[in-house]
Each structure stands twice: as C-alpha cells, then as structure tokens.
Chains A and B, each alone.
Chain A
Amino acid sequence: GAVVSQHPSWVICKSGTSVKIECRSLDFQATTMFWYRQFPKQSLMLMATSNEGSKATYEQGVEKDKFLINHASLTLSTLTVTSAHPEDSSFYICSARPPGLVGAFFGQGTRLTVV
C-alpha cells in the first residue's frame, strides 16, 4: 500500500518557539496533502489542504499565520507551528491520496507538547 511518512513522531518545545513537522509521500507523488489535528478521544479535524506549488487552503477558524504550510515538492509538505503555546499541544496528522486510489493514507502522526 501507499506509504506516507511523518516526522518527528513526537516533539516537546518551549512556549514561544516554532516547530516544523514534515510529511512525505514515499512511493507516490502527491499534488495535494492534508493536515489534521486530533485532540484526545476526538476525531480528526481538517486544518488545511496543502497544494504543491501554491498556497495552502485553510479551514475556517484556523490561523494561517500560526500554522504555516509549505508544499515545495510533490513528495513533501511541511507544517510549521509558529510561536507555539500550550494550547497548541495536540496530535497532528498528515495525509495524501495516491493518484487513482480512493481514500487517503495517513502519516504516523506527530504528538506536539508545548511547555
């Protein structure tokens, strides 16, 4: 099956610093990738759609200046949480859909803890 790799799997950072999370499609090219956020015992909330070579599309209520998304190549999208605060602590997951296949494939997720 298609493989989406996410790095790091967990990170702890100090309040006020920035954290970058990488999402890679290892065996296919993805013009579109998706970033989700998941709180404990809750479902996935779509944050933004990452588009290769163009600006990301953010869902309502998601601060684009805080969650910077870059999709510079067909296999890599990055999410940078800027000036992180404890309320940004969450599980962040990316996904991508291989061409011709139904359903998205997800990365392993990144658990961010801001202290």
Chain B
Amino acid sequence: QKEVEQDPGPLSVPEGAIVSLNCTYSNSAFQYFMWYRQYSRKGPELLMYTYSSGNKEDGRFTAQVDKSSKYISLFIRDSQPSDSATYLCAMMGGNEKLTFGTGTRLTIIP
C-alpha cells in the first residue's frame, strides 16, 4: 500500500464548476499537508498548506484535512481554464521529506 493515494484522473469539468480533489494517506506521522499545482514541463508550485484538521481558504481554493480519516481535499470554486494543470498532494512528517501523491490531471473546459 502506498503511503499517499491520489486518483490520477484525468478529470474534466466545465468552466465555473466546483472541483474536488482528494488524497488519502496511511502514515500517522504526517503533520503538514500541502497542495501543489504543476503545469506541463514546469516545477510544482505550492498552493496551500495546512497543519491541523479543518479548513483553510485562500481565494477560490479551500484545503480540508480530516486527520481522523486520513483524508485531505482541495476544492476549487469558479474554476477557470487557467486552473488546468496537474494537482499533487504532498505530506510531510518531522524529517522534512515530502511524500507526494501521484497527481490528478485537471482540465477546465471553456
């Protein structure tokens, strides 16, 4: 079993829709939970991070963590074509190493 599981998609939604991206994990030592966006042939870009269970909002993006279920989500409201990218969840314990999900390819259709 992988430490971090993420549905690879691909996921296609119409412009303006709400997008839900999810990851599950098995390692209880993970303390920080991050979402990265990666455009084709580019390095990942940090979108958001959370530390504890609950929600964190930044503009159109909301990150949600449920430590009891070992489940994290990223919601994108009013999705735009520029949101089309691969979204990677990442988790970190005390050793600074990031463990990534496989990434979900998202396409927003104008």
Chain A residues proximal to chain B, CB less than 8 Å: 1, 4, 6, 32, 34, 41-44, 46, 49, 91, 93, 95, 97, 102-109, 111
Q: Is B81 on the interface with A (CB-CB < 8 A)?
A: no
On chain B, which size bracket covers the interface? 20 to 34
What residues of chain B lie closer than 8 Å to A102, measured between beta carbons? Answer: 32, 34, 49, 51, 92
What residues of chain A lie closer than 8 Å to B34, measured between beta carbons? Answer: 102-103
A43-B88, A93-B44, A108-B43 known; A103-B49 Cβ under 8 A: yes
Number of A-B contacts (CB under 8 A): 55
16 contacts between A and B (CB under 8 A): A6-B43, A32-B96, A34-B97, A43-B101, A44-B44, A44-B88, A44-B100, A49-B97, A102-B32, A102-B51, A103-B46, A104-B98, A106-B43, A106-B45, A107-B43, A111-B41
